[in-house]
A and B are shown apart, each in its own frame.
Chain A
Amino acid sequence: MKVELRDIHKRFGSVQANDGVSLCIEPGTIYGLLGENGAGKSTLMKILSGFISADSGEILLDGKQVRISSPAEAIKLGVGMLHQDPLDFPPLRVLDDFVLGSPGSWLLSRRRARRELQELASQFHFNLDPEATVSSLSIGERQQLEIVRLLWLGAKVLILDEPTTAISAQQRAKLFAALRKLAKQGQTIIFVSHKLEEVEQICSEVLVLARGRVTGQVAMPFPTEGLVRMMFGQPVMLGKRLDVPLGRPLLELEDVGVSPPQAGRLAVKNLSLAVREGEVIGLAGLEGSGQRLLLEVSAGLIRPTMGKVLLGGRDMTGRPYREFLEAGVAHLPAGRLEEGLIAGMTLTEHVALVERRQPFLVNWEVAAQAAVSRIQEFNIKGRPTTRVEELSGGNQQRALLGLLPPQLKLLLMEHPTRGLDIESSEYIWGLLLNRTLLGTAIIFSSSDLDELLDRSDRILVFFNGSLVSALDARQATVEQLGELIGGKGVA
């Protein structure tokens, strides 16, 4: 099916997410949509798949103008979207998830559906057990289920939103094979990603978005630097690296094993690591490969099932979280508003919470003044009376950093600059590197390879619950890192 978007505009508050985007895709194409986080790719695809409506612009399918007002309408017109976190139903069985929402008579015919599910799945060599629960599937398998379901409903346009973020190399190979087969059958595939290598591998045409506008529409193959320039505006330069002298070992993990508290996450085994004062360690790997568990066990939020955790030589294995905090460890979660800050409370209240001067009574004037000084020091765009949910993402992250105690031995962060623009990221890293000068060690996880390479001294790559590689960041390359993350080169 031919897909055409003409002059799409969409604004969210003060942000122009899509600013006059037009594209045209012939059937049978695997079309790449490239761009940084926040470039407008997701918004555009949400418009095409019916989740949101454009402020202005037209959508044409097979030459006919259409109005897509809901996802259900979209699939009726043949447009199906696979979300990064597939919109499925965890407690249901695969077969039931497959059938839910499909048109048909009141009575379910599970037999027929099972047959069709298995037929479709086998076409692409997907192994889906109809009786398994969706929650027991890996993300890759959930994607496979969703693709098969959309095809069953008659999708002729398949939009995949960052599909390879959390799947194994094997599953990625299967996915790509499936996409190529579908394209040959005349389907239109739109592959949204910010990963250059994959787009280069599979797409025949690419549209690059930056800050809501189209910066390039090219046929593949196309030189990488050109794509990069279209994405970022200029070739990406390596950030300045501070040379911080490393001190004594601060955190030592000896043969640690951790079991995740919830299902769906891999356990970690045989983790051994020594982190020195002033060192910056980046954790790389697909979501759920073990980085988060490393951070949580180092923070004392989870007990290890095996092994020992030592802080400054002292055995802290199994000690409560409170003792880790007192020992100078801080943990900043990825969900700024979900887990880091308290929505509904002002900056002053947050400052009062962390800065406890007197035993009982809160001196609000002093707290407000302290808030002012922290606002100035960390350049937070807000006032002491601002509630934290009213701050932008970048300012929320600054606030989180601003609430940390001045002396820290170990700072553990999950995705410190996720969703932030370049200016905020630079500023925040400036603050973080200042701390390393004082001897703080930092361990952070990130899915941004450039960030990992620029900021870390060492990069630890996780795959499938094990630490598979430790790289010297100064010498590693993007390709090397990408391959290790994807599981290549693992014995």
Chain B
Amino acid sequence: MHSVLTRPGTGLADLLLRLAGILVALILSALILLIAGTSPLDAFNLLFTGAFGSSTKLAYVITAWVPVLLCCAGLLITFSAGLWNIGVEGQIIMGAVFATWLMRVLGDPLPAGIVLPLAALAGLAGGGVWGVLTGMLKLYGNVNEIFGGLGLNFIASSLTVYLVLGPWKRPGIGSTSGTQPFPPALWLPSFEGFNVSPVEILLGLTAVALIAVMLRGTYFGLRLKAIGKNMRAAFLMGIPTSQHLLAAFALCGAFAGLAGWVLVVGASSRHNLFPLISSGYGFLAILVVLLANLSAIWSVPISFFFAAIGIGSLQLALQRQLDSSLGGVIQGLLVLSILVTQGIRNRLLKRGD
């Protein structure tokens, strides 16, 4: 697949155009709210307080932010190589599965200080393997990574259901609420009174920073970019394209798997494995990266903003009988509007030629 997106502009006109797009998205969201029977101002207010109203809520936002950040880091790699890694959700899940497995096996005998990092590695491995599977399906089976990724997503999710209701079920009755939660010793340490783990935040931000450096400052990143823009020419230049594509999938999967680990051991998590543990964070990260136009720097605030919308929308469900998917609607409208304004800008540019 060729470049995912067109180049953004940097002038004042572009900025205004983008702001206009955001405004349109907000107006449309307000319209939807009206149709759904609520006052938009009321709803936006609830969203805001739902995300930032108290320190607990802020903690939730930060906790939701981290997995998205990690996935963004991974997706920046695959997008750079021209790939649509829709399989990111399954990679999160497999990371969580592998991490859970390791903690169940080694949680008792070994001290937490060793188990937790090992589980992180297991998560990396699980997600990485799942990513490589998608890559191999693409390279050797000629299956477009969108469909390969989707299929693997569903398989990962079903595997989780099987584990949660079967071999790993809670003593007593197995239920889809998940496995037996891990003891507090196996939780990531968090601040007193502010249920956020500094380890998570550091991990997320470091990941994005690392990827930004890698993409712009290393040969590997440059070669990925070349592959993403013209795979044939990159191959003729001597770049081993298959290896690089598989590496991209593996890396993205690894970061997603790490996000899976965070979702199991993180501060505000449920500390167990349950079906749909990925909670759509992977897809959300795709939206974030699209909105950020593949910029690592912009991914950081945008993912925070989207996490806030996501957490805030839970309040809407609790207090106004609105479906929490409203957050998803706002996020989707924002990305769509940017795609549209980008297109308008390119059309206008062409006319001016």
Contact = CB atoms under 8 A, between A and B. Distances in A.
The short answer to whether A and B are in direct contact, CB under 8 Å, is: yes
Given A345-B226, A349-B222, A331 B234 contact: no
B229 A360 contact: no
A242 interface: no
A301 B234 CA distance: 13
Contacts of A341: 230, 233
A362 B218 contact: yes
Contacts of B236: 301, 331, 333, 339-340
B219 A360 contact: yes
Contacts of B3: 344
A353 interface: yes
Interface in B146-196: none
A353 B233 contact: no
Interface in A391-413: 403
Interface in B212-256: 217-220, 222-223, 225-226, 229-230, 232-240
Given A344-B3, A360-B220, A361-B218, A339 B233 contact: yes
Contacts of A356: 219
**Interface residue tally of chain A, by bracket?**
20 to 34
A21 B63 CA distance: 71
A322 B240 contact: yes
Nearest to A344: B229
A345 B217 contact: no
Contacts of A344: 3, 7, 229-230
Contact of A342 (B217, B220, B234, B238): B234
Contacts of B7: 344
B237 A361 contact: no
A353 B237 CA distance: 9
A355 to B, nearest CB: 10
A361 B215 CA distance: 10
A356 B226 CA distance: 15
Contact of B222 (A301, A362, A403): A362
Nearest to A352: B222
A322 B242 CA distance: 12
Interface string A348-373: 01001110100111101000000000
Nearest to A13: B353
A354 B237 contact: yes
A452 B235 CA distance: 29
Contacts of B235: 321
A325 B239 CA distance: 11
Given A356-B219, A361-B218, A338 B229 contact: no
A322 B239 CA distance: 8
Contacts of B220: 360
Nearest to B7: A344
Contacts of B237: 353-354, 403
Interface in A105-160: none
A343 interface: yes
Q: Which of A331, A361, A403 has the most CB of B within 10 A?
A: A361
Contacts of B217: 361-362, 364
A341 B234 CA distance: 8
A362 B213 CA distance: 10
B68 to A, nearest CB: 28
Nearest to B226: A342
A343 B229 contact: yes
A407 to B, nearest CB: 15
Contacts of A362: 217-219, 222
B222 A342 contact: no
A322 B238 contact: yes
A340 B226 contact: no
Nearest to A320: B240
A338 B232 CA distance: 8
Contacts of B223: 353
Q: Which of B3, B218, B230, B234 has the most CB of A within 10 A?
A: B230
B142 to A, nearest CB: 14
Contacts of A342: 226, 229-230, 233-234
B218 A360 contact: yes
Contacts of A361: 217-219
Interface of A: 301, 321-322, 325, 331, 333, 338-345, 349, 352-354, 356, 359-362, 364, 403
Given A321-B235, A322-B238, A356-B219, 7 more contacts: A331-B236, A338-B230, A339-B230, A345-B229, A353-B223, A353-B226, A362-B222
24 contacts: A321-B235, A321-B238, A322-B238, A325-B238, A333-B236, A338-B230, A339-B230, A340-B236, A343-B229, A343-B230, A344-B3, A345-B225, A345-B226, A349-B225, A352-B219, A353-B223, A353-B237, A360-B219, A360-B220, A361-B217, A362-B217, A362-B219, A362-B222, A364-B217
Interface of B: 3, 7, 217-220, 222-223, 225-226, 229-230, 232-240
Question: Which 9 pairs across A and B sit closest by C-beta, in order of nearness?
Answer: A342-B230, A344-B229, A325-B238, A342-B229, A342-B233, A339-B232, A360-B218, A342-B226, A339-B233
